[in-house]
Amino acid sequence: MGGVCCSRGGVVAPAQPSADTLALVEGLELFERGNYEGARVQLRESAKSESTWIRAESFLYLNALEMELGDYDAASLHLNRYHAETMRLMREASERMARQTARLRRRQEIIVVVGIVFAVVVIGGGVWSRRARRRAGSVEGAAGAAGSPVAAHALREEDRALWMAAAEEFGRTEIWTEIAALAAQKPGREARVLTTARQEVLDAELAAAFAGFAEALREGWPALTGGDVKLCCLSLLPLSPFGRAICFGSTETNIVKQRKHTIKKKLAGDERSRAMFDFIFGPR
C-alpha cells in the first residue's frame, strides 16, 4: 500500500500506490463508465491482493457488476467472498484491539511494580524532613489528579475490544447478510432498502449484539436518541454511508450525514466525548 520513501536527495516523497490498489481504482472507474468487461478484469486482479480491505472491496464491486449483468450465480459467489473478507477484517480489528489491551495491561503491571518499589524506598528511608513531606504531598496530589474526571476521559482499551467483538458477533446474523446484499447495490433511488418489518428485526439484533455499547452511550450521553445509538452501532460495521442509509429505509446518504453531524454536537463536551466520536466514526 502507499507510504513514503526517500529520494536520492533525502527528500521524503509519497510512495507509488501498489499494483492491486491501481487495479481496484481502475476497475471502479471502468465500472462507473459502463465498461463491465474491462472492470471485471481489473477487479479480479485486485481481488488477488494481500490486503484484506482491497479484496473485500473487489468482491463487493464484482458482486454489483454481475448483478448488473444478470449473472446471479456469479454475483452470489462474489457476495459470499465479500462476507468472508469482511469477517476477516473484523477479526483482524478484534485481534489488534486484544493485542493493544494486552500491552496496556503489561504497562499497568510495570507501573504498579514501580509504585510499590517507590513506596518501600520512601517508607524504609524514614525521611521526615519538610522536603520529604512536601514531596509526599506532591505524590498525593498527583494521585488525586489520576483519580479526577480528567483521567477518566480516555476510553478503556478493554471496552474498545469488547465493542469490536460485538460487531464481529453481529456479522454472523441473518439480517447482516441481507444488509450486505442491499449495500452491494448500485446507489440510486431505485435501490431496494430494508422494509419497516426488517428494520424492526435489525433493531432487535443490534440491541442484542451491542447491548453493552448502547448502554455506555446512553449512560454517558443521555441526549442521544434511539436513532443516534442505532447509527453509532451501524458505524462499527464495514458499511458505506449508502449501506447505513438503507438500514433506515432510505437511499439518501444525506440522512446519515445529518444524523452524524447531530451526534457530533452531542459528543462535543469534553475529551472523552471526542474520543468516543472518533472511535465510532474514525477510520479503522
pLDDT band at 2 (very low <50, low <70, confident <90, very high): very low
Same domain, 170 and 232: yes
pLDDT tens per residue across span 242-260:
999 999 999 999 999 999 9
Quote the number of domains for the chain.
3
Does residue 12 lie within any of the structural domains?
no
Same domain, 183 and 146: no
**Last residue within a domain, chosen from 38, 66, 88:** 88
> At 41, which CATH number?
1.25.40.10
**Last residue within a domain, chosen from 39, 68, 88:** 88
Question: Stretch 192-213: mean pLDDT, rounded?
Answer: 93
Does residue 62 lie within any of the structural domains?
yes
Residue 17 has phi, psi (to 5 degrees) of: -60, 150
- How far is residue 62's CA from residue 85's CA, in Å, rounded to a whole number? 13
Same domain, 227 and 273: yes
- How far is residue 203's CA from residue 206's CA, in Å, rounded to a whole number? 5
Does residue 4 lie within any of the structural domains?
no
Same domain, 75 and 174: no
> 63: exposed, middle or buried (C-beta count within 10 Å: 0-12, 13-18, 19+)?
buried
Q: In which domain, by residue range, is 231 found? A: 157-281
Same domain, 121 and 60: no
pLDDT at 109 > cutoff 60: yes
Does residue 34 lie within any of the structural domains?
yes
pTM: 0.49
Same domain, 180 and 246: yes
What was the pLDDT predicted at 13? 38
Same domain, 235 and 167: yes
pLDDT band at 111 (very low <50, low <70, confident <90, very high): low
Same domain, 84 and 40: yes
